[in-house]
Amino acid sequence: MSTLGLLISLLILPLLPQQAQETDPPDGTRINSAQVSGIELSRLSPGLQEEIGKLAGTPLNRQHLRELAARIETEQPRLIAAVRVSPDPDAGARVVFVVARMRDQEHGANVNIRYAVEDVEIRGVSEHELDPLLRADLQALIGKPLDPEEADRLETRLKDALPDYDVTRRTVRGGQPGRIRLIFDATRAESARWLRFEPLEANAIFHSDQGWGAMLPITMNSRDVHVTPIIAIDNGDDLIEEYSGFGLRFETRKLGTERLGAFFEWNTFDQTWRDATLATLALDPGLARPYRNRMTVTPLVKFAITRQLSIGGGVSITELDPLSEVDFSDSQMANAAIGSLRFSERSKRRDDQRHDVDAAFTVRAGTNALESDLVYERYLGQADYSYRWANHRVLVSGMAGRIEGNAPLFERFSLGDSRTLRGWNKYDIAPAGGDRVLYGSVEYRYRGLAMFLDSGAVWNRDADRRARFSAGLGFNPGPVFFTLGFPLNTDEFRAVFTMGLRFSSSAVGFQKN
Amino acid sequence: MDRILDTNLPPAARGSLGGAALVALTLMTYTTVEILAQSVTITRAGNAITVRAPGFGFIKGEPLARLKDGRSVRVDLELDVLPGPGGAVAAQGRQTYVLSYDLWEERFAVTQVGAPSRSAAYLTPAAAEAWCLEQLTVPVSALGRLGRELPFWIRLDSRVLAADTAPAQDGGADFSLRGLIDALSRRRKNDALTHSIEAGPFRLSQ
């Protein structure tokens, strides 16, 4: 540690009583040796190094030494240099250029530098995980006045030594007056976790064609466990049904080991159906029937293969109450086995640029083996990529899905909501959804302003596929969003406006199941 | 020391459309401009004018938390003299300060960076802010005709440099109570980092 204080103390050394008997070598005394202390000699220019090297054997000339010290300061503006001349036993002189870093005004102005460090504590990691040298340097702060500059350097070294942690520093009062404690808090970064929590979006959304709806999960979380009561009010943003009701989700991402997690959700929702949906269903008796309530229990187990890749499996048990006895007299069961593969990569926050990727492939199979009345298979692949640099952000999303068999309506795909095909209304595109979907979106954001291009198609296997495009603008100040989307390949000029509040647990991605 | 008070011209804050448009514009660009003409006074000391603005606080939010953690915070203050609201800068004064919070005395200390270097200690937050403003001056000679023949306005800007402030995110956060607080306070953090007020008109008394 080289500070102004050290410099001053070194310069004062010759004046201390034990040195008082020594006489100051007069100019003309032969210089026996000349050294530079405080920095590597190699940091100085070759010419200056040579001149300092040539001092040995020459007569002492203090004016020349001061000029050399001034040249050191000129070459190293953040350093301060002084000359110390001391007598050698053989009547010669020893010259030392004492070089120290100038204390940064910002750090030097910290009023707490007058207090001595009583203790240095590292929380969140065992000190044994640290390099012994770093540990020793941290402990070396103890007993000395606070040196904010050195504390900053050590904090940086800690961050470098613990790339999977977010490290912060704070200073608190010590146990005795005039003493302080330095605390370094290391918190495990989310990117270093083995498993991610299942994405869940909270929102309150207005869609100019579809009206208001809200999904309100309120997460009570610890690092490993989420307990989430869920309330849905006329939510119609992700499915072709509008639903209201409540549920409870429990999720842990540590079951003995961080590689193993469990998920359980129970919910019960009452449905409201649009006239367009009911009319389409009436015309196609091959589609599953609408229901007035669905109650679902979903237990899942997840396992992390790597920090980026995880697999999951479980079942979804759903009971559907008939909308009318014409459709089906007793309740129907839509029980499915679930298998999923998920990839998630988050770049480090310390980097100025961030790349985040989320991708998932999910299979849901309704089968007689689970006593399901509806037998089907549903495949869905989703991938989202986010690139962030300073205030710029690019989002790219893609989705492809396919359903075989007689799937319940909540499994059917739709496009044209607040996240997909913005500018289109899903009840105009496919009022009863489709069993095929293909979708892609590119969005650029600068600060809160956004522009996007969406394209996609949702259709049934025996029908023609029609690709639709839309473009628009958005404004996203924090969790609030305003979007104006325009359908492109249509003769009708119209706009769809959406606004609301959205909190997403996923940095990227839409939340369709 | 002469005390200069507002003239009898109406303060800008009184509901002009221009003021409303300015507020809307600055809200959209994440910069807060508050019109606090009623609480701003100008003082003349020799050939310099200084500002008193008790409502102009910058020791709050994220910088305050950083200070309470025993770290120092750098604050840049700028005093602009304008010929009218939102006008071009006619004269300017700038100063940089380093604030710190004494963990044992529970008071703030301020050091003015650069020459002349001055410092003050054992201050409350309001006193520390007032001390910073006292050091921020604009020479009367730089005003020209402003103040004597023409009224002038002032704009006061603060910029707090907290190096470890997390980058703002546009979206992702859990809807937990903590997430909600974080999301709603994100704006406040930005407010604290850049703060601006404009006031006037003023005239120099003879």
Of A171, A200, A478, the CB nearest to B70: A171
Beta strand segments in A225-308, E: 225-235, 242-252, 260-272, 291-304
**What is residue A101's predicted lDDT score, i.e. its pLDDT?**
66
What is the C-alpha separation between A350 and A180, in angstroms, rounded? 29
A contact test, residue of B104, B119, B123, B185 with most A CBs within 10 A: B104
**Domain boundaries, given as residue ranges, for chain A:** 4-101, 105-188, 192-504
Q: Which of B56, B36, B52 is nearest to B4 (CA)?
A: B52
Write down the pLDDT at residue A318.
Answer: 97
Q: What Cα–Cα distance (Å) separates residue A320 from each residue in A262, A277, A365, B149?
A: 25, 17, 17, 82
Cβ-count burial A472-500 (b if 16+ within 10 Å, e if not): bebbbbbbebbbbbbbeeeeeeeebebbb
Give the nearest partner residue to A479 out of B70, B117, B173, using CB atoms. Answer: B173
CA–CA dist B1, B36 (Å, integer): 24
Nearest to A422 by CA among A232, A251, A205, A260: A205
- For residue A50, give every residue at least 6 positions away whose Cβ sits within 8 Å of its Cβ, in sequence order, or none: none
Cα dihedral A286→A290→A295→A297 (10° resolution)? 20
Which residues touch B47 (CB under 8 Å, ≥6 apart)? B139, B140, B141
Domain A105-188 coded CATH 2.40.40.20:
no
Pairwise CA distance, residues A140 & A159, whole Å: 18
Packing angle, helices B61-68 and B177-193, rounded to 10? 100
Q: Given this chain, do its domains A105-188 and A192-504 carry the same CATH topology? A: no
Q: Quick one: tokens of A395?
A: 């989002």
Query: What domain count does chain B have?
Result: 1
The residues, any chain, with a CB within 8 Å of residue B86's CB and separated by 6 or more, are B18, B22, B198
Q: Which residues of chain A have pLDDT under 50?
A: 1-4, 6-22, 507-513
For the CA atoms of B185, B190, B192, B198, what is the dihedral angle to 10 degrees? Answer: -120
- Please state whether beta strands A376-389 and A353-366 pair in parallel, antiparallel, or not at all (unpaired): antiparallel
Kindly report the number of other CB atoms within 10 A of residue A178's CB atom: 11
Using only the alpha carbons of chain B, give its radius of gyration.
18
CA distance B152 to A307: 62
Report the distance separating Cα B189 and Cα B205, nearest Å: 39
Question: To the nearest 10°, the Cα dihedral for B78, B82, B87, B92?
Answer: -40
A4-101 placed in CATH 2.40.440.10: no
Alpha carbon distance A481, A462 (integer Å): 37
Provide the 8-state DSSP code for A59: B
Residue A441 confidence (pLDDT): 97
Name the DSSP class of A29.
P
User: Mean of the per-residue pLDDT values for chain B?
Assistant: 72
Chain B residue with Cα closest to A506 = B172
Instruction: For residue B72, give the nearest of A106, A202, A447 by CB distance.
Output: A106
Q: Which residues on A lie below 8 Å from B175 (Cβ)?
A: 200, 202, 216-219, 503, 505
Amino acid at B21: A
Determine whether the interchain pair A503/B30 forms a contact, defined as Cβ–Cβ distance below 8 Å.
Answer: no
A289-298, B61-70, B110-119, range with greatest mean pLDDT: A289-298
Q: Is the pTM of this model over 0.80?
A: no
- Cα A305 from Cα B52, distance rounded (Å): 62
Radius of gyration of chain A (CA): 35
User: For B64, phi and psi rounded to 5 degrees?
Assistant: -65, -40
A218: closest CA of chain B, how far (Å): 5
Q: Are A498 and A475 in contact (CB under 8 A)?
A: no
Range of the domain at B150: 2-202
The answer to whether residue B13 scores a pLDDT higher than 50 is no
- Give the Cβ contact number of residue B206 at 10 Å: 5
Q: A115 to chain B: which residues are within 8 Å by CB?
A: 103-104
Q: Which of A111, A190, A393 to mutate to test the interface with B (most CBs of B within 10 A)?
A: A111
- Indicate the pairing of strand A291-304 with strand A260-272: antiparallel
Q: Is the peptide bond before B54 cis (omega within 30 degrees of 0)?
A: no
Contacts of B119 in chain A (CB under 8 A): 109
Residue-wise pLDDT tens digits, B27-53? 443 333 344 444 788 888 888 888 998
Inter-chain contact B104–A173, Cβ cutoff 8 Å? yes
Domain covering A192-504, topology: Porin (2.40.160)
- How are beta strands A93-101 and A31-37 bridged, if at all? parallel
- List pLDDT tens digits, range B83-98: 888 888 888 888 889 9
Are B98 and A106 an interchain contact pair (Cβ–Cβ within 8 Å)?
yes
Structure tokens, B42: 């100008």
- Lookup result for tokens 């603008």: A473
- Report the pLDDT value the prediction gives residue B30, as an integer from 0 to 100: 35
CA distance A415 to A410: 14
Interval B195-204: pLDDT, tens: 888 888 888 7
Predicted complex ipTM: 0.70
Interatomic CA distance for residues A437 and A460, integer angstroms: 9
> Chain A: nearest CA to B56, how far in angstroms?
23
Query: Which pLDDT score is estimated for A84?
Result: 86
Decide if A100 contacts A80 (C-beta within 8 A).
Answer: yes
Task: Report pLDDT for B178.
Answer: 53
pLDDT greater than 50 at residue B22: no
Return d(Cα B153, Cα B143) in angstroms, integer: 11
How far apart are the C-alpha atoms of B58 and B38, rounded to whole Å? 19
Per-residue confidence (pLDDT) for residue A346, from 0 to 100: 78
Q: Is the pLDDT reported for residue B10 higher than 90? A: no
**What is the least distance, in Å, from the CA of A31 to any CA of chain B?**
39
One-letter amino acid for residue A346 of the chain: R
Write down the number of H helices and E strands in chain B. Answer: 4, 11
* B109 interaction partners in chain A (CB closer than 8 Å): 109, 111
The answer to whether residues B37 and B200 touch, using CB atoms and an 8 Å cutoff, is yes
